Structures are given as structure tokens and as C-alpha cells.
Amino acid sequence: MGKPDEQPSVHVGTVNNSAIGIGNGNTVTNTNTNVGAVPSRDPAQEELLLAVRELRADLDRLLATETTTVLDAELVSTEEEIEAAGQATPGRLARLRDALTAAGPSVEVLASGAAAVAAVGALLGG
């Protein structure tokens, strides 16, 4: 503090997603419980996420081709999008469907490939 006749001062910088109280007898409650929370996903998105992860693991067992490399990249992007936003957008699903179709012969023999195709089809409506 300064001289006896000066009032104490408080300086607060930027406050994000927090609650503060200044002075005597204050009660502060922060009800912002969604900070850093992962968006909830519907069961169809959860099914797709599981199928994507299983297919990625199975692709590691196959000889890589141009189409499986593209498919793997789409699977990674789909997984990241679902993790970050809680769902894959229709555009992402369409790109994944196209990559699955292009890699068809390579993934048709895999149960995880069939599951991924079914999950994408269910979300795209066909």
C-alpha cells in the first residue's frame, strides 16, 4: 500500500472461464462446468469411431497401397473430428465413404472394413 490516506487497489488482468471475488464476505461460485469438456456423441458416432479405430489397426496388417494410404488419412481425420467436435461432418463422412469405396478390394475382406462402411452409411442415410 501507499500512504495512510490512500485506498487499497486491486488490478485484475484477463480472466477466462473463472470466477473471482473481491472484498470481504464474498461468495463466488463458478458454474461453467463445460470448460475443456469433450462434446457428447450419439451412439451412431460412437459406433463410427470404434469402426474407424478397428479399421486403422487392421490396415496396419495389410500391404500399403495408394488407396489404403488415402483411406488411412481419412480415418485419422475422421477420428480427430469426432474426438474434437463430437461428430463427423457430412463432408468428412462423404470423403471417408469415397476412400472406403476406392480401397474396396483391400478392405472388403476385413470385418472392420464392413463395419466402417455400415457406420458411414447409417450416418449418411444410405
For the stretch 69-119, pLDDT in tens is 999 999 999 999 999 999 999 999 999 999 999 998 878 889 999 999 999
In this prediction the pTM is: 0.68
For the stretch 43-64, pLDDT in tens is 999 999 999 999 999 999 888 9
DSSP 72-104: HHHHHHHHHHHHHHSS--HHHHHHHHHHHHHTH
